[in-house]
Structure 1
Amino acid sequence: MSAHGGTTFIPLNIAVLTVSDTRTEDNDTSGHALVERLTAAGHNLADKAIVIDDVYQLRAQVSKWIADNSINAIISTGGTGFTERDNTPEALMALFDKNVEGFGEVFRHVSLSEIGTSTIQSRAFGGIANKTVILCVPGSTNACKTAWDKVIKEQLDASHRPCNFVPHLNISAEQCETRG
């Protein structure tokens, strides 16, 4: 696979993390929206968790997924605002080998047309750790849909040109053999 993108789609194994002190599987509309979108795009849900907004519990869950070589990507929703309980950036950025500064910048750019200048209150961010891309978006369902539809979907598609994240991930031979 070239550094600028492949020619075929490779289904990735993606974990979804909802950061919330109040959401449950029954009312996690943001997490469910991400799961629906990633599976509709042909990816596999590797795992899903809801973790309270606690720095150490967030690090523990994401570290577990980063250490699992079968997980290629993690999408986190919630905890990216400015309240006292919003700790996702402080928790997860410490785990990154590299930051993906452009992710937050592009997310805020595309959400500007939807929510106006309120987008500056989003601390959406991304990084790579142990060949796993981690993309963190706000907790609103609409923000998750915007992030997936306008940024994440293309960047997790090996056929997207001129480049995407897939060449930077730990892709197994089995995943390459099951290309769509």
Structure 2
Amino acid sequence: MSDREFIPTRIAILTVSDSRSLAEDKSGDTLVKRLEGAGHILAARDIIPDERADISAQLRTWCDDPEIDVVISTGGTGLTGRDVTVEAHRDIYEKEIEAFGTLFTMISIKKIGTSAVQSRATGGVCNGTYLFALPGSPGACKDGWDEILQHQLDYRHMPCNFVEIFPRLTESERRK
């Protein structure tokens, strides 16, 4: 850590599930508890079914909202026919953060061995907003937050972090 002051980010949580309600959303609850415990702000929360167009639409709506800095989704990252969250994310990414998925896989291997190959966690940027798709289990959400996101969403984390480059995410638009 550095001597920088903490800067809270405004985070939206989207749970993708055909079967869960908000009352049964343990993965979403895990993320909310962790982000608020770290000093961030829950800006929005919703749960929607595994429908690619609906997921993309919700992600885009939140990316267009100046009161949301980060969107974290949980669920729909597996290999079944209904798992379309990764595709929905990629529908709107301007840039993909390839190393997010790679790092998540490396962390998962330590916990679940070769089963980590079935996760397709992803990260990207759209309209100056960070997006991250985590698997739907509470354990995967803990791993994604505790091992990656809590550090990268903390301005005090050195040598670099996602927060310090927020102002530069849309600099190509300023050049036009």
What is the TM-score when the length of structure 2 is the normalising length?
0.92
List structure 1 runs of 4+ shifted beyond 2 angstroms: 167-171
The answer to whether the 8 Å contact 1:80/1:139 transfers is yes
Of 113, 135, 139 in structure 2, the residue corresponding to residue 142 of structure 1 is 139
Unpaired segments of 5 or more residues in structure 1?
172-180
The equivalent of 2:128 in structure 1 is 131
Whole-Å Cα distance in 2 between the matches of residues 167 and 65 of structure 1? Answer: 21
Whole-Å Cα distance in 1 between the matches of residues 42 and 67 of structure 2? Answer: 11
Of 114, 117, 122 in structure 1, the residue corresponding to residue 119 of structure 2 is 122
Query: 1:168 corresponds to which letter in structure 2?
Result: I
How far residue 97 of structure 1 moved from its aligned partner, in angstroms, is 1.1
The answer to whether the 8 Å contact 2:89/2:133 transfers is no
RCO comparison, higher one (Cα < 8 Å, 6+): 1
When the two chains are superposed, the root-mean-square deviation of aligned CA atoms in Å is 1.5
* 1:91 corresponds to 2:82: no
Identity, % of aligned positions: 47
How far residue 98 of structure 1 moved from its aligned partner, in angstroms, is 0.7
Unpaired segments of 5 or more residues in structure 2?
169-176
SS of the residue aligned with 2:105? helix
What is the TM-score when the length of structure 1 is the normalising length?
0.90
Of 49, 53, 75 in structure 2, the residue corresponding to residue 52 of structure 1 is 49
The equivalent of 1:113 in structure 2 is 110
* 1:8 corresponds to 2:8: no
Whole-Å Cα distance in 1 between the matches of residues 3 and 58 of structure 2? Answer: 31
The answer to whether the 8 Å contact 1:16/1:35 transfers is yes
Whole-Å Cα distance in 2 between the matches of residues 117 and 160 of structure 1? Answer: 30
Aligned ranges 1:30-41 → 2 under 5 Å = 30-41=27-38
How many correspondences in the alignment?
Answer: 167
